[in-house]
Chains A and B, each alone.
Chain A
Amino acid sequence: MATTTTDFNILLVKRLKNKDATALDYLYDHYSEALYGIIFRTLNHQEIAEETLHDVFIKIWDSIESYDPGKGTLFTWMYRIARNKAIDARRSKDFKTTDKSDDIDGFVDMFQDSGNKEDYIGLSAVLSEIGKMCKKLIQLNFFMGYSHAEISKNEEMPLGTVKTRLRNCLKDIKNKLRKDFE
């Protein structure tokens, strides 16, 4: 599991635990856009999404002591914080008074374009190959903060199937990416 990325992240985490603000500065520059993609798609409301992003980084700063590399990568840990914060924000009273709702209705396929980054690894090409339902499940669960139960209900799909298919879709993407590299 050891890679240069994780070695680098070990140093970054160490500096964050020492309350080195420059490490937080770097962390923000490197990860804020990826996390904001999750937060914004969960909330679809710029102002609240930006407030949430702020809260997420403050939580990362405050609770970096609880990050355990043995239980996952730094990104996974931060991703979980961002996802949960965004879900909390969507369920809050403030959010309910906006014209936004937490229904899955009005779903727009986010994978229609290739994203806002240079596609070095050919991810958009891989996504164009995988099934429509795969993409929807990934978007709903990983980018929009919907739980397995919510997706199951909305898509009229058994809970177990949602879980298994999600796993298979991710595996599919990973395998296709690997195949392209080989």
Chain B
Amino acid sequence: MNREEIITEGYLAAYITGELSAEQLAEVEQFIQDDEQVGDEFYELQKTVEQLAFQYAITPATAVKRFIMEDPKVMTMSMPTASGDRVGNGIKMLLAASVVVTLLSAFAAVYFWNQWKNTDYRLAQLTARNLELAESYHIVNQELTDIRQDLAVLVSPEFSRIILNGTDNAKDAKAVIYWNPDQEEVYLNSANLASLPQNQQYQLWALIDGVPVDAGVFDANEGTFQIMKNIAKADAFAVTVEESGGAASPTLETMQVYGEPQS
């Protein structure tokens, strides 16, 4: 077989359609690779067949492509693990990235949870402090109100101050009464009276024309000003020690202090 025969006797066209014997095939292939003229002729023939095939193409049903792309051979062969190191590394990178993201998320979760717990704790502390302060304020405010009230009584020209001095029963004892006969108001400062057993209480009496009138019971250490019962008229005031809850008439032997208003 020579160049001329291969070109003119249709061997190249037969090579395209695959109609050569094994022996002819090897010879023609050799010529195509070694002989430029044969190579060019072969290329031109291939192009002509391709042009004819494209010009007289027929469109197949669209489902054919889907079946090809979904064929197990195509699907499994194009799996990332089977597609070489590049894609494999890509998966590894993705895995590494996801691990990093997961770790960061975990750290962030723990960090923010701690922050939140701390904040929550501090909020509870502050709320408690706030309640304490509010309570303190309420107490102070109440004390202030009381003191203002006491001061108002002390400075008021309507109130007369009566000193009750200790009797023989309690020589060191002393009590002070602030009395407004017009308003019938009686305040008592009992700070200097001794404390009593639990079953006893002090009782204040107003003496009107020699008759004792109950002006209220009180405990020894109950602050400076105690509001007593209303008294309109009194010649003198006295404090006795009585059973808890007070008595209908005074036990004179227990009289602790006694005083008369200045006329």
Residues of chain A having any CB pair with chain B under 8 Å: 1, 18-21, 24-25, 28-29, 32-38, 40-41, 46, 49-50, 53-54, 57-58, 61-62, 70-73, 75-76, 79-80, 83-84, 110-111, 114-117, 119, 121, 123-124, 138, 141-143, 147-148, 160, 162-167, 170-171, 173-174, 177
Which residues of A are found within 8 Å of B74, using beta-carbon distances?
21, 24, 58, 61
Q: Knowing A28-B65, A58-B73, A138-B52 touch, does A1 contact B13 (C-beta < 8 A)? A: no
**A58, B61: Cα distance in complex, Å:** 17
A-B contact count (CB 8 A): 172
B53 contacts A by Cβ under 8 Å: yes
Query: Is the Cβ of A123 less than 8 Å from the Cβ of B51?
Result: yes
Query: Is the Cβ of B13 less than 8 Å from the Cβ of A123?
Result: no
Q: Which residue on chain A has the smallest CB distance to residue B33?
A: A70
B18 contacts A by Cβ under 8 Å: yes
**A25, B97: Cα distance in complex, Å:** 30
Secondary structure of the B contact surface, majority rule: helix
**A34, B32: Cα distance in complex, Å:** 25
Question: Which of B36-44, B204-212, B225-233, B242-250 sits within the interface?
Answer: B36-44
Of the candidates B12, B55, B61, the one whose C-beta lies within 8 Å of that of A167 is B12
**A177, B47: Cα distance in complex, Å:** 11
Among A29, A115, A119, A143, find the residue whose CB has the most chain B CB atoms closer than 10 A: A115
Query: Is the Cβ of A58 less than 8 Å from the Cβ of B68?
Result: yes
Query: Is the Cβ of B83 less than 8 Å from the Cβ of A50?
Result: no
Which residues of B are found within 8 Å of A121, using beta-carbon distances?
51, 55
The contact size tier of chain B is 35 or more
Q: Which residue on chain B has the smallest CB distance to residue A47?
A: B61
Q: Knowing A167-B9, A170-B48 touch, does A38 contact B53 (C-beta < 8 A)? A: yes
Which residues of A are found within 8 Å of B57, using beta-carbon distances?
33-34, 36-37, 115-117
Q: Knowing A71-B32, A84-B18, A117-B55 touch, does A32 contact B83 (C-beta < 8 A)? A: no
Query: Is the Cβ of A54 less than 8 Å from the Cβ of B68?
Result: yes
Query: Is the Cβ of A24 less than 8 Å from the Cβ of B68?
Result: yes
Q: Which residue on chain B has the smallest CB distance to residue A160?
A: B9
Q: Which residue on chain B has the smallest CB distance to residue A40?
A: B58
